[in-house]
Structure 1
Amino acid sequence: MSSDEDFSLVSEDDLQKVLKETKSFKIQHDGLLKENKLLREARDNNIKFADQFQQRSVQLRKNLDEEQKKHIEALKKDQEKLESVKKEKNKLMMELIEMEQELRKIEETNNSLKQQTEVSTAVPEKKVVFKGETGEGAQTLSFDMKPSITYPMEGGTALITFEDKEVAEKILSLKEHVVELGDCTIRVQAEAVSFLVPVSVEMDTQVCPRRILVSNLPRTESEERILDKLEIHFSKSRNGGGEVEDIDMLHDSGNAVITFMDNSISKGLTDKHFHDVEMEKGKKHKVKVTPFLNGEITSLQTHRIVCQKTVVLTGIPPVMEQDNLQDLLEIHFQKTANSGGEVDAIIYNPEGRTTLAVFEEDLPKEE
């Protein structure tokens, strides 16, 4: 078949139809391209929005973390402030407690001092009389005590007191002495005698709540009878007393100390001062009751003194009886040829024995 014949088979209408369809397809194609473009633009916008959202989300998370961090730091600071306030409160509470304790101590001391000021010296009365002598320092208060020092003597030693201190100085300067004892000779050494004595004593005294001091006791009764009568009298509640724990006699003063079981007894008895105690049947004796003071040494100053008239002889062997050897020593040191002089006192303590020598104040002799 020829080409003219093929072409002739397609009609005009068919051609128009094809063209129309082609145009339609082109329109659809353009529409699809446009739609595709819109979809791509929408996708790009979505991606862009997604990126922006992601960035905002990251920024929000970061801001949230920072806010949380700031919140935690602020909370921590508040906690530290709270702890600081608690510590300050505890410190103030402790200071308050210490101040209250100190105040109680001051009040106790105040009450004690007040109680002591109410005690009229808290010692038994002694009878005194003016004998015409005057002295300086009338406003001062002091205690004069007779010094008495107990000196433990070692074995094989002797104490010699001379009437003149110059003799004692000569004996000490020679140090070693040869003493003739009849058929034998001994060598002794002379040494100074020194003591550590108090110069100034300060005491803190407190009124004992359980004890009383009873003075003005009868001198005609025995000690045992006096203590029995005192205990009977002061143990009875009708006499203002109570259960007695202990009672002692102070032999140096002749007074008695009574200790009660209860702390509330002594105050009433001392306030009354004088009490009538039956010592014999039908006869009463007036005694005085004063507070008993406990003393504690708060300050003690001492210094060493050397006896000017007394020397100690050491290295004395037991060659004969004590009395004979003591007499021979006294005779030897009385002779001026042996640098001695008048002996005022002598005591010899043999080896293997112990004795106590009592030193008292060297008062000037009356002429």
Structure 2
Amino acid sequence: MNPPHHHPIFFIPSILVMIMAFTYIGQFEWVKNYQFYQTMIRLFPSEGLHYLMAAFIIWTLNALSNGFYASSRYFQDFYFLLPIQHRRYRELNTKDSNKYTLIRDRVFSMIRIESLTICIMFLLGKITMTILQSSWQISILWTLIWLFIMQIWTLNANAGLYHISSIIFMAQYYLTLRQKSHGRTLQRFYGRLLHYERKQSKQMRQLLLLQLIGHYYQSFAMLQREIHNYNQQLKRYLSVIFTLITVTITYLVYLILMTKQNFIFLLLFIVVTHSHYVALSILIIGCNMIKQNNVKTLRLQRKCLTLSAACERKLFHNYHLFKFETITSINLNRPSGFQLGNGVIITSYTFVTFLVNISTFFFLISQNFGRE
């Protein structure tokens, strides 16, 4: 069976909206006398309509790209959904699992409320403009059709950005809890090393050797492999969202600051812009936390290696010391984390990069770039 995002109710409204947006930006004279074109245009404010149509195109491209480019047709590529939905797939203790469930329910509830708020405000804005610009006098049928199509498009656009972003964040948060759990275990092991340094014990020496070689490094390697698998499954979504959200925020900021809008649409643009910034910030913070947790764990591993060698040099052969130190150094030079499609690891500095890109693009369009 085809995935749900290939359903006609998803891509047909999106394609129709994108075609009409391109038609308006292209200013094709032959279509201006048709009722379906006139009624659609009068659903929105006349000022800044070029930029609004461009934003519609970007929103549509985001939804279609996530639906047809980023989403796989193989079930194994959606493994990251299992811990989100089912408790039995989480490798967490009871306390962390309950915490994860609580955060998941709150995040998804906020996303549903936010999406519903945007849909209602958008519907009220279209109805208001229908009355003010008398689009119903041109054709009541086409007015109702476009109201319905635009509302379905709004649901798809919200799902293509906010819903997918919330799922990615919950996948990141799950990995963060896994990393913290591993870090706590390693910290306890480091405490045992400090205790061993004061009390030399053959039994303790054997325990250290077993745990360090047989458990901690293997556990860390398995966790890094899981992070890598999650990254492979999610980096296309991240690349699409991070790329297109920059342009979308720019157009929205321009509409808010540089044009005079109807109150409902102005409030709608402010809410959507804020939601975009929040979605972008949360995704960057989630990616950065994974990278920083890896750095902390690797530094703690290095401290464990140093202390183990100082406790008793017979505990590890030089070969093991060199091997583990080499692995730790390589990982510290390039810690594992979530990446974009070009291989760039997402860190806190990524947010600065996107702010610069947004400011640059805003400067371009504010200098009569594409002015109607």
TM range (shorter): under 0.3
More helix by share: 2
TM-score between both structures, scaled by the size of structure 2? 0.22
Q: Which has the larger radius of gyration?
A: 1
